[in-house]
Amino acid sequence: MSGSEPLLRLDGVTKVFYTDEVETHALAGIHLEVQPGEYVAIAGPSGCGKSTLLSILGLLDSPSEGAYHLNGRPVEKLTASERARIRNREIGFIFQSFNLIGDLTVFENVELPLTYRGMKASERRERVHAALEKVGMAHRAKHLPSQLSGGQQQRVAVARAVAGQPAILLADEPTGNLDSTNGEAVMELLRELHREGATICMVTHDPRFARHADRSIHLFDGRIVEEDHSPKAEKELEESGFEMN
Amino acid sequence: MEALLHDIRFALRVLVKNPGFTLVAAFALALGIGANTAIFSVVNGVLLRPLAYPKPEQLTMVWLDNRRQGIREDITSWPNYTDWRDQNQTFQRMAGYRSTRLNLTGSGEPEEMQVVMATTNFFQLMGIGPALGRGFVDDESQPGKDNVVVLSHGLWQRRFGGDPSILNRQINLNGQATTVIGVMPAGFEFPSKTDMWGPLAPNDRLRAARGAFWLPVIGRLKDSVTIEQARAEMNVIAERLENEYPDINRGYGVNLVPLHETTVGNVRTALLVLLAAVVFVLLIACANVANLLLARAATRSREIAVRSALGAGRGRIIRQLLTESLILAITGGAVGVLLAWWGVDLLVKLGPENLPRLSEVRLDSRVLGFTFSLSLLTGIVFGLAPAIYASRLDLSEMLKEGSRTGPGGKRANIVRSAFVVTELAFALLLLIGAGLMIRSFARIQNVDPGFRTDRLLTLQLRLPRTKYPDGAQVNAFYQQLHERLAALPGVDGASATTSILLPQLANSSGFVIEGRAPDPQEQRLELPFDSVMPEYFQVMGVPLLRGRFFTAQDGPDAPNVAIINETMAGKYFGSDDPLGRRFSFGTPRNDSDWITIVGVVRDTKRQGLAAPIRIESFMPAAQNPSRGMEIVIRTSGDPQAMAGTVREQVRQLDADLPIASIRTMEEIFSTSIAERRLNMLLLGIFAFVALVLAAVGIYGVMSYAISRRTNEMGVRIALGATRGDILRLVVGQGMRLALAGVGAGTVLAFVMTRWMSSLLFGISSTDLWTFTLVPVLLAATGLLACYIPARRATRVDPMIALRYE
Ligand SMILES: Nc1ncnc2c1ncn2[C@@H]1O[C@H](COP(=O)(O)OP(=O)(O)OP(=O)(O)O)[C@@H](O)[C@H]1O
Ligand SMILES: [Mg+2]
C-alpha cells in the first residue's frame, strides 16, 4: 500500500469552532488516508464531526491544525480561487438536502459546475446528457426541481456531482431525506459509480449502507475510534495477502 | 366593526414588532408625501386658490394687442381706454391704473413708496373697499383735486403704527401735501406690493392724446357674461377704433386675459414641473414600500397560510394587510405634513420676491385634505400588490420543500423587479430634469452680461418735481453728487443712468433715421433710450467700439448727441459707418431735433441674461435730464461696505431724499435668476431624493434576493464558483434591472422633458450631455447598490450547503 500515493491524506487534522467564547473541538487529531478508487463510509453519532470532516476534505473549510494533502499536494497554501477550481474540477458533492437550485431546470443544475469551468456549450450539453442518462433522469431535463420527487431530485444531484468527472465524490447523508426505496436506488447508483472507479467518501447513519463501502470510519467526539472493513473489503485484502491484527 | 378594530390592533402590533421596517417605510413615505404636500400647497396657493377678490373669475386684464410689434399684452392710451369703457356692453366696469414711485417725507426717514394711481372706479371694480375711511369719489379725478391717498394695511401698520387717527391727516408725497382718506384691509396689494393708491387725474393733454400709450386697463365682466362673449365684443370695438383712427390704431386690437392668468401665468410651467417631480418621488417611495411589504409577505407566508387554513377568505386577508399599509401610509402622511410645514416655511422664505402670490401659500384645509387623500391612495397603491400576492399563496405549494426560493418566489420576483425598474425609470426622469435645469443655470451664469458686475454698488434716486422743478436743477444735483461720490476714498469711479437694466416696458419711442426711407414694417419699432452721466460706460466697463464717449462738452447747449449699441448699428447701418449719422424720436420739427450718433458701444445683456438684445440708444443726461436716476459706483473694495458712506453723501445733499434699493450689481443679477435657481434647487433636491430611494430600492431587492438565496450561493460556491463568478452573477442580475430602468427612463425623459423646455436656457430639452451623463450616473449608482449585496453573497459560507434545515 505504501507504494501508491493516497488520493486524500489528513495528518493530525484538528478543527476548532469558536462561538461566544465557547470552543467546540469538532475534529481532534484526525489521521486519514483514502486511496484512489476507495469507497469510505463515515459514521458516528450526531455532532461527532462527520460533516466537518467532509467539508475539510471538500475544501469548503480549512483545518485549524494539521496537514491535508490532496493528490499529494498540500492544500493549506492554495488561494481562494485555486480552492474553487479544485472544488469545481476534482470534487463532486452530494448533499443530504439535494441543494438543487430552484430557479434552474434539471439540465441547468447539472450543467452548473461545468459553466464555472468555461467549458464549451456543446461539450457541456454532451456531459450533462451523459450524466443524466446515467442516473436515469434524461427525460426530466427540462423540469424544475420542484416538479420532481425527493428521490428524483437526489438522482439529479448525483448527476450534477459526476457530470464534471471529478476524482472524488463526497456525499453527506445522501439518503437522509429519502424513503428506503429511493435511498436504496441512490446507494445503488453510488455503488455503480464506485465500480466504474470513482473514489467516494460518504457520511451515513445507516449501517446497511455503510456495508456497501470498502471501509467504515467511526467518529466519536471528533476522533476516529475505529475503522472496520466490510466483508467485501476484507476479502479483497485477504486476497492481496494483507493481514489484519 | 369589531373585525376592523381587530385588524387595526393586529396591524399595530405587527408594525411595532418590526420597528426597522416600519421606520424605513414610514420615512420613505413621509419624504414622498411631505414633498407632495409642500409643492401642492404652493400650487394651491398660487395656481388653484381663487384670487382674493369677490367673484375673481370676472376680473380680466384688458390689454392692447400690439400686433405691429408682436406685444400681446401692451398698454393703451386714455382715449382708447374711455372708448373701450363706454362702448362695451359686457363689462360692469373698466378701470385704468398706473404704478409709480413717490417719495414719502416728513415723519421719519424719507422712503420711496410704491403707488398706484387708478381711475376712481377702481375699488368698486375690485370689489374691495377700504377697511377704514373711504375710497375715491368721481370729483377726485380732476387735476388739483387728486391729492388724496388710500394706504395699504401693511404701510399703515409699519409706518403709522396702525393709528386710526391717520384718516384726514396730511402726508408729504414728492413734496405735495396729500390727505389720507382710507386704509385698505390686510392682504389687498393689487397689483402687487403696493403701498398706497391715489386717484388717476390725467391732464387735458393726456386725455386727448390717443397716441400716448401709458395705461394698463382692468375690467370686471358682467354677471353671466363669458370671457368669449366679451372678447367678441371687444374685437368689434377694436376694429371700429382701427378704422376710425387708422394713423394711430392700425394694427392694434384688444386682448382679454383673465387676471388670474396674468398673475400666475409665468410660473405655471415651473410649478407643474415641480408637482410632477414630487408625484414621481412619491411613486418611487410607494414602489419601495411595496417591495418591502412583498418581501415581508413572503416571510410571513406561514402566518398567512395558517390564517387561511383557519378559514380566512381572500378578502379577509387582503383587508388585514391593507389595514397595515394604510396605517403605515397615514403615519407617513402625518410625518410628511410636518416635513411640509417646515418645507413651506422655508420655501416662502427662500422664494424669490417676484414669485406671485407667495404670501398666500400655506397649509390650509384643502392642502391637508389633499395630503390625507394622498396618504390613503398611497396606502392602497403600495399595499394592494403585496396583499393580493399574499392572499394567493398556495398552501400545498408552501409546504413543498423542493424550491428554496420560497413559495411563489418567481411571481413575486417579477413583481419586485418590475417595481425596481419603474423606480429607476422615474428616478432617471427626475435626474434628467434636474440635470437640464443645472446645465441651463450654469449656462445662464456664464452669460457675459457685457459689463463688469463686480465691486459695483447701485442705488436709485428720484428727485421730486416740487423741489427740483427744472432740468438745470436736476442736473446740478446729480453733478454735485457725482463729484462727492467720485472723491470718496475707496471709490474708483461713479456715474448714473436712468436705468441700468432694461425693463420690459422701457422708456422708448418711435424714431426716424435721416436719409433712410422709413420702412413701413419698422416704422413703429420703438427705440429705448437712456440718459447717462459722463463716464457711465467707463464705470460700467462697457467697451467703446467706435467713435467717442460723452464728455462734459456735450452740454444742454451743444448739439444733441447719442451713443448706440452694436445691435442698432448692425441693424440700421450694416457695414456703413453710423458715426455722424442722425436720427430723431418722432418726425423732427426742426433741425435741432436731430440727434447725432457719436459712438457705438458693445451690446450688454441689460434686458436679462436670458433675453435677446434689443436696439438701444443713450444720451447725455445733461441734454436729456431725468429726475429718476440709478447711481453706479465702482469701489476698490467690498461695495456693500460703502453703502453707509454713500447714503451719508446723499443725505448731506438732500436730507429729504429717500434712497431706494441700495444693492450691489451681483445682488441684482443673483435676484434676476433667483426663480431659476429655486427651480433648479428644488428639482435637484427631489431628483436626489429619487436617486437615493431608487438606490435603496435596488439595494433592497438585491439584498432580499440574496438573503433568500443564501443556500443557493453556498451550493454554487461548493460546486466551485469563484468570488468573481458570484459577483458577476449577482451584479449581472441587478444590473439587468438597473439597465432596464435606465433604458425605460431615458425614453420617458425624452418624451417628457419637452414640457419643461420653456424653463431651460441655452440647451435643448434633449441635451445630449445630460442624456449621456445622467444615465451613466444612475447606472453607476445601480452598480454600487448591487455590489454591496453581491459582495455579501461571495462571503456566504459554503458549509451552509451541508447543513440541513
Ligand atoms: N460553523 C460552526 N460553528 C460552531 N460550531 C460548529 C460549526 N459547525 C459545526 N460545529 C460544531 O462542531 C461539531 C461537529 O459538527 P458536525 O456538523 O460536523 O456534526 P455531524 O457529525 O455532521 O452531525 P450530524 O450527524 O448531526 O450532521 C458540533 O458540535 C457542531 O455544533
Ligand atoms: Mg452532518
Ligand 1 touching residue A204 (CB < 6 A): no
Ligand 1 centroid from CA A37, angstroms: 28
B611 has a pLDDT exceeding 90 = no
Task: Give the model's confidence band at A70: pLDDT under 50 very low, under 70 low, under 90 confident, else very high.
Answer: very high
Calculate how close chain A gets to B404, using CA atoms only, in Å.
Answer: 6
Q: Closest Cα to residue B375, out of B760, B34, B787?
A: B34
A236 has a pLDDT exceeding 70 = no
Question: B799 and chain A: CB distance < 8 Å anywhere?
Answer: yes
Q: Which of A113, A146, A176 sits opposite B719 (nearest CB)?
A: A113
Average pLDDT of chain A is: 87
Q: Which of B405, B725, B804 sits opposite A97 (nearest CB)?
A: B804
B715–A172 CB contact, under 8 Å: no
Question: According to the 3-state scheme, what is the secondary structure of B710-744?
Answer: HHHHHHHHHCCCCHHHHHHHHHHHHHHHHHHHHHH
A172–B716 CB contact, under 8 Å: no
Provide the phi-psi class of B223: left if phi over 0, else alpha when psi is between -120 and 50, else beta. Answer: beta
Give mean pLDDT, residues B327-340: 92
Question: B736 and chain A: CB distance < 8 Å anywhere?
Answer: no
Pair B627, B711 in one domain: no
Ligand 1 touching residue A50 (CB < 6 A): yes
Domain boundary at B250, B271, B291, which?
B250
B695-706 pLDDT, tens digit per residue, is 988 888 888 888
Ligand 1 touching residue A15 (CB < 6 A): no
A233 has a pLDDT exceeding 70 = no
Q: Closest Cα to residue B136, out of B126, B127, B148, B152?
A: B148
- Kindly give the number of the ligand 1 atom that is closest to the alpha carbon of A27: 14
Ligand 1 centroid from CA B724, angstroms: 29
| Cα B682 from Cα B156, distance rounded (Å) | 36
Ligand 1 centroid from CA A20, angstroms: 15
B403–A145 CB contact, under 8 Å: yes
**Chain A residues within 8 Å of chain B (Cβ atoms):** 51, 54-55, 58, 60-61, 80-81, 84-89, 91, 93, 95-97, 99-103, 112-113, 116-117, 144-148, 153, 160, 172-173, 176-177
Pair B614, B681 in one domain: no
A174-226 pLDDT, tens digit per residue, is 988 888 888 888 898 899 889 989 999 999 887 778 888 889 999 999 999 87
| Cα A215 from Cα B318, distance rounded (Å) | 59
Question: B660 and chain A: CB distance < 8 Å anywhere?
Answer: no
pLDDT value, residue B132:
94
pLDDT value, residue B311:
67
Domain presence at residue B350: no
Domain boundary at B220, B250, B280, which?
B250
Pair B72, B117 in one domain: yes
Closest-CA residue of A relative to B403 is A102
The pTM is what? 0.79
Pair B520, B621 in one domain: yes
A76 has a pLDDT exceeding 60 = yes
Residues in CB range of B85: below 8 A, 6 or more apart = B91, B93, B94
Pair B182, B116 in one domain: yes
Instruction: For an interface test with A, give the residue of B405, B706, B715 to mutate (most A CBs within 10 A).
Output: B715
Ligand 1 touching residue A23 (CB < 6 A): no
pLDDT value, residue B671:
82
Domain presence at residue B416: yes
Q: Closest Cα to residue B665, out of B638, B647, B644, B646?
A: B638
Half-sphere exposure of B284 (CA within 13 A, CB side): 35
Domain count, chain B: 3
B403–A85 CB contact, under 8 Å: no
**Which of B169-178, B324-333, B666-675, B677-686 is the least confident region?**
B666-675
Question: B718 and chain A: CB distance < 8 Å anywhere?
Answer: yes
Closest-CA residue of A relative to B798 is A60
User: Atom 5, ligand 1: which residue's CA is nearest?
Assistant: A17
**Which of A111-125, B269-283, B287-301, B692-706 is the least confident region?**
B287-301
Contacts of B723 in chain A (CB under 8 A): 80-81, 84
Calculate how close chain B gets to A60, using CA atoms only, in Å.
Answer: 6
- Kindly give the number of the ligand 1 atom that is closest to the alpha carbon of A96: 27
| Cα B441 from Cα B429, distance rounded (Å) | 18
Calculate how close chain A gets to B306, using CA atoms only, in Å.
Answer: 22
Q: Which of A85, A95, A97 sits opposite B720 (nearest CB)?
A: A85
Domain presence at residue B747: yes
Closest-CA residue of A relative to B413 is A103
Identity of the amino acid at B385: A
A116–B410 CB contact, under 8 Å: no
**Element (DSSP H or E) covering residue B293:** helix B259-299
Percentage of chain B beyond pLDDT 90 is: 51
Pair B472, B580 in one domain: yes
Domain boundary at B586, B619, B653, which?
B653
- Residue B581: count of CB within 10 angstroms of its CB: 19
Question: Residue B773 burial (CB < 10 Å; 0-12/13-18/19+)?
Answer: middle
- Kindly give the number of the ligand 1 atom that is closest to the alpha carbon of B797: 1
Contacts of A97 in chain B (CB under 8 A): 804-805
pLDDT value, residue B458:
94
Domain presence at residue B92: yes
Ligand 2 centroid from CA A57, angstroms: 14
**Which of A197-201, B25-29, B296-300, B441-445 is the least confident region?**
B296-300
pLDDT value, residue B466:
82
Length of chain A: 245
A60–B798 CB contact, under 8 Å: yes
Domain presence at residue B307: no
Pair B746, B624 in one domain: no
Pair B624, B688 in one domain: no
Contacts of A103 in chain B (CB under 8 A): 403, 405, 409-410
Pair B597, B631 in one domain: yes
pLDDT value, residue B569:
93
Domains along the sequence of chain A with CATH: 37-61+89-239 (3.40.50.300)
A46-59 pLDDT, tens digit per residue, is 889 999 999 999 99
Domain presence at residue B648: yes
Pair B483, B613 in one domain: yes
B395-416 pLDDT, tens digit per residue, is 555 544 433 444 445 677 788 8
Give the single-character DSSP code of B759.
G
pLDDT value, residue B405:
40
> Between B348 and B635, whose confidence is greater?
B635
B798–A177 CB contact, under 8 Å: no
Half-sphere exposure of B232 (CA within 13 A, CB side): 6
> Between B615 and B801, whose confidence is greater?
B615
Ligand 1 touching residue A47 (CB < 6 A): yes
A1 has a pLDDT exceeding 50 = no
Domain span including residue B419: 410-443+675-805
B87-130 pLDDT, tens digit per residue, is 999 999 999 999 888 888 877 778 888 999 999 999 999 999 99
DSSP lists the bridge partners of residue B461 as B629
Cell numbers 370689489 correspond to what residue?
B127
Pair B486, B612 in one domain: yes
B712–A101 CB contact, under 8 Å: yes
Question: B400 and chain A: CB distance < 8 Å anywhere?
Answer: yes
Decide if B118 contacts B671 (C-beta within 8 A). Answer: no
Ligand 1 touching residue A64 (CB < 6 A): no
Domain presence at residue B735: yes
Domain presence at residue B329: no
pLDDT value, residue B401:
41
Pair B701, B800 in one domain: yes
| Cα B415 from Cα B297, distance rounded (Å) | 13
Q: Which three cell numbers stand for residue A206?
A: 445507516
Residues in CB range of A201: below 8 A, 6 or more apart = A8, A34, A40, A42, A54, A57, A168, A169, A170, A171
Q: Which of B402, B723, B799 sits opposite A146 (nearest CB)?
A: B402
